[in-house]
Amino acid sequence: MQVYINPAKQTRTALLQRPAIDATALQEKVKQVLNDVQQQGNAALQKYTQLFDGVTLDNFQVSDAEMKEAVQTVSDELKQAIDIAIANITTFHQKQVAAPELIQTMPGVQCWRKSVGIEKVGLYIPGGTAPLFSTILMLAIPARIAGCKEIILCSPPGKNGLLHPAILYAAFKTGVTRIYKLGGVQAIAAMAYGTETVPQVYKIFGPGNQYVTCAKQLVQQQGIAIDMPAGPSEVCVLADETANAAFVAADLLSQAEHGIDSQVLLVSTQEALVQQVQQQIAAQLQQLPRQDIAQKALENSTAIVVGSMEEAIELVNEYAAEHLIISCKNEDAISDQIINAGSVFLGNYSPESAGDYASGTNHTLPTNGFAKAYSGVSVDSFVKKITYQKLTTEGIQNIGNAVIQMAEAEGLQAHANAVKVRLQNL
Amino acid sequence: MQVYINPAKQTRTALLQRPAIDATALQEKVKQVLNDVQQQGNAALQKYTQLFDGVTLDNFQVSDAEMKEAVQTVSDELKQAIDIAIANITTFHQKQVAAPELIQTMPGVQCWRKSVGIEKVGLYIPGGTAPLFSTILMLAIPARIAGCKEIILCSPPGKNGLLHPAILYAAFKTGVTRIYKLGGVQAIAAMAYGTETVPQVYKIFGPGNQYVTCAKQLVQQQGIAIDMPAGPSEVCVLADETANAAFVAADLLSQAEHGIDSQVLLVSTQEALVQQVQQQIAAQLQQLPRQDIAQKALENSTAIVVGSMEEAIELVNEYAAEHLIISCKNEDAISDQIINAGSVFLGNYSPESAGDYASGTNHTLPTNGFAKAYSGVSVDSFVKKITYQKLTTEGIQNIGNAVIQMAEAEGLQAHANAVKVRLQNL
């Protein structure tokens, strides 16, 4: 961990710099796979699943029998934990449903918005070292609440040609409609274009490696919506003298274990605390199965000590962290001043991992500074808000002249005429 | 207008096809301009403004004197019309502001969302044949309501080196913070990267030609958010025997006059109505100053007669129009069945042009079928929703075991540990 004590103001932006991500270098390779799936459908899916996942599958869709077996395999303890998480995530997201509200902007002019679930959505869950079933909860629960009719899930098969039982249990409990054993670029392609067995979707969600990220960017240019741009996961801890060094160290390590590219930032007004946190990290790191990964991530991480809480807040807003933990005595007052962050954790008993799994908030969040412009996933991400207007004859009489004036000033006579023919008819 | 009477089901998707848009062909040219502005700042802006707009500007920013003069130049009638539109748009969008709502997902676990305006946003208003001041209202009003602090506007200068007075009046009235006489790719580059005088923004909004569209796509890949993908404007009219042929014709023409690539679709259960509409179009077209443009757009447009309202609604949802006018006797019941559209106009007295200018709804809407996954612009487009959570010691005790179980099942021990260190401390 690089420690900077009261760095000069003009150097701070450089300290907050994330490593540049450039997925465009992969574009040619990724385009090839996308094109093959678009043109050859299932045959291409089969070819790439053999090549990249090392298994030959005749049928990509998870069968009822596979699902049944998986549900039996998951331990009761894990099931109970998942069920608690589902309950909390559902409670939190349910409140995001907006009922239409009729607004009369002028007498006889009524306007409103209606939220409609995106009819077909695709969720991608990466494979690799850990079965990220928690991400299924974070995507499928809001999708169901939004009213999406078709919720497709793709995740790469293991060497045994199966998905992890916890993945299937989470998908089963959250109402995913079809599950496919497909990974990587070929999964994104299947959902973007559709194949003989995989339905085409209108929006694709979920994390992935740099190939998946590049594929999502490319299909977005072709009109398929995506959840948000991707980047390595990150946490920023803002801590004053009331913070607990052991807790802060544990939080930083929980981010660092994600991957060697994970970003970890500690901002504090207390030099002594930063030292204690470093000691705690060293001690706790020894106990971790993923210590090699965490160690590497920490080598590229930063602690910054500043002279005042005002400066600290400024830094934190400039960084725009995916996860921001505020372990400070005035946590509520400080949180009011936060303008850029994905999800914020307040006080000493709100670790990031609570939100990662079960507090109820969503863990699919903007990384890489994208929190300056993007929100995390919510029910909003799974709906379109269609606007409506209905004018009575009184309404068109009240608004008509304004429309005619503006249309004519923009040189659009036919726009004006659409009002005039109606006024003439009254 | 191509008319299809009861076309076979399997041919319908082909009839609804829009022309393919491929902005990637322009990428090399557009990248050159983007790179030049990124590297050379104002000098590049000057070079390209000379080259593309034919004027030499020492100062791109609109001065107070220019603004003052413009405000005096706009007629009182137009000012009143704009003021009515501003009032209605403000009333409608004001209701989109979401107050934070505290949700207790479990005892001791409180979660909420806070909407924060995106700090810096950029609005692009194209030049060309008409001064599209109405689009300023549609972007700047929700930006202000959202609480965006810096609202930049770029629009290409005329040959006289000035912006149209109505553009300046609209910007003045809606609280745009800085206005620059910059157009095309160089304007998008200036807002995406910042220059000596133009501040960098986090999200760029507004319509534009294919170069602007391509530039927005490219900067989006570099992490600058954009409002939505672009495409030619379009209207679909769904009409039964209660529709007024003259009104329908006027609505179709108001879309057709936008540009030769405008998309116009009429869906009806009544063959006789379609014939009457065609006659009305022929008659009204003669009166229009932009009849050449409208004529060309109509040549590529389509009318489809189907046997039942159910089939008609299916077609309309499949098309996913930017603007959908429902001129039918059961307009409310039909509108309940609409799942894909940008903005919907109900009944015989709700022309699209009412929503284009002054009803209160937003006119920046998803075209090209993007309404299947995207919403139009609203206050939502200008905020990030930051999630918060605060756990008490009771909260971490209630949720702790679920988090530990799930983290361990995902193989993430440090995530579990962030909870364990806290539980051990109680």
Contact between residue B1 and residue B253 where contact means Cβ atoms under 8 Å apart: no
Do A140 and A57 reside in the same domain of the chain?
yes
Judge if B256 and B217 occupy the same domain. no
The tally of domains found in chain B comes to 3
The shortest C-alpha distance from B143 to chain A (Å) reads 13
Q: State yes or no: is A363 an active-site residue.
A: no
Residues A308 and A170 in one domain: no
| B348 and B415 inside one domain | no
pLDDT value, residue B300: 86
Would you say residue B286 lies in a domain? Answer: yes
Q: Do A417 and B287 touch (CB under 8 A)?
A: yes
* Alpha-carbon torsion (A133, A135, A139, A144), positive or negative: positive
Substitution target in B78, B296, B375, B404 with the highest count of A β-carbons within 10 Å is: B375
Q: Which residues of B touch A294 (CB under 8 A)?
A: 414
Domain CATH code at residue A52: 3.40.50.1980
Residue B367 lies in a domain: no
Residues A56 and A187 in one domain: yes
pLDDT at position B129 = 65
Task: Give A197's DSSP letter.
Answer: S
Closest by CA position to B235, among listed B160, B118, B309, B327: B327
pLDDT digit string (tens) for chain B, length 426 residues: 999 999 998 898 889 998 877 767 799 999 999 999 999 999 999 999 999 999 999 999 999 999 999 999 999 999 999 999 999 999 999 999 988 899 999 999 999 999 999 999 999 999 876 789 999 999 999 999 999 999 999 999 999 999 999 999 999 999 999 999 999 999 999 999 999 999 999 999 999 999 999 999 999 999 999 999 988 999 999 999 999 999 999 999 999 999 899 999 999 999 999 999 999 999 999 999 999 999 999 998 999 999 999 999 999 999 999 999 999 999 999 999 999 999 999 999 999 999 999 999 999 999 999 999 999 999 999 999 999 999 999 999 999 999 999 999 999 999 999 999 999 999
CB contact under 8 A, A388 and B111: no
pLDDT in tens, chain A (426 residues): 999 999 998 898 889 998 877 767 799 999 999 999 999 999 999 999 999 999 999 999 999 999 999 999 999 999 999 999 999 999 999 999 988 899 999 999 999 999 999 999 999 999 876 789 999 999 999 999 999 999 999 999 999 999 999 999 999 999 999 999 999 999 999 999 999 999 999 999 999 999 999 999 999 999 999 999 988 999 999 999 999 999 999 999 999 999 899 999 999 999 999 999 999 999 999 999 999 999 999 998 999 999 999 999 999 999 999 999 999 999 999 999 999 999 999 999 999 999 999 999 999 999 999 999 999 999 999 999 999 999 999 999 999 999 999 999 999 999 999 999 999 999
Q: What pLDDT, on a 0 to 100 scale, did the predictor assign at position A98?
A: 85
CB contact (8 A) between residue B406 and residue A82? yes
Is B329 part of any domain? Answer: yes
A109/B77 touch (CB, cutoff 8 Å), yes or no: no
List Cα–Cα distances, B206 to A311, B91, B139, in angstroms.
35, 21, 8
Q: pLDDT digit string (tens) for B241-298?
A: 999 999 999 999 999 999 899 999 999 999 999 999 999 999 999 999 999 999 999 9
Same domain for B198 and B313, yes or no, is: no
Under a CB-based contact definition with an 8 Å cutoff, are residues A82 and B93 in contact? no
- Residue A129 is predicted with a pLDDT of 65
Rounded-to-integer distance, Cα B296 and Cα B218, Å: 31
Active site residues of B: 322-323
Look at residues A226, A245, A270 and tell me which one is the last residue of a structural domain.
A226
Q: Does residue A365 fall inside a structural domain?
A: no
ipTM of this predicted structure: 0.96
Domain boundary among B204, B226, B248: B226
Angle between helices B133-146 and B76-94 (to 10 degrees): 40
Residues B323 and B413 in one domain: no
Q: Show which of A183, A203, A226 is a domain's final residue.
A: A226
* B250 & B219 share domain: no
Domain identity same for B32 and B176:
yes
Cβ-nearest to B130 among A342, A396, A412 = A412
The answer to whether residue A372 sits within a structural domain is: no
Q: E strands of A97-197, at which residues?
A: 103-106, 109-117, 120-124, 150-155, 178-181
CA–CA gap between residue A356 and residue A354 (Å, rounded): 5
**Which pLDDT value is given to residue A367?**
95
In chain A, what residues touch B207 (CB-CB under 8 Å)?
none
Residue numbers in the known binding site of A for substrate are 233, 255, 258, 323, 356, 410, 415
Query: Which amino acid, residue B307?
Result: G
Q: Are A180 and A61 in contact (CB under 8 A)?
A: yes
Task: State the residue range of the domain holding B7.
Answer: 2-19+232-360
Q: What is the DSSP letter of B380?
A: G
Structure tokens at B259: 């540009």
Q: Could you tell me if B166 and B83 lie in one domain?
A: yes
In this structure, the answer to whether residues B135 and B258 fall within a common structural domain is: no
The answer to the question of whether B356 is labelled as a binding residue is yes
Q: Is residue A207 situated within a structural domain?
A: yes
Does B384 sit within 8 Å of A373, measured CB to CB? yes
Per the annotation, binding residues of A for NAD(+) are 124, 186, 209
Per-position DSSP letters for A50-82, written without gaps between them = IIII----S--BPPHHHHHHHHHHS-HHHHHHH
> Against a cut of 0.90, is the pTM above it?
yes
Residues A132, A149 within the same domain: yes
Query: Could you give the CA distance from residue B403 to residue B426 in angstroms, rounded to a whole number?
Result: 17
In a domain, A185, yes or no: yes
B246 domain residue, yes or no = yes
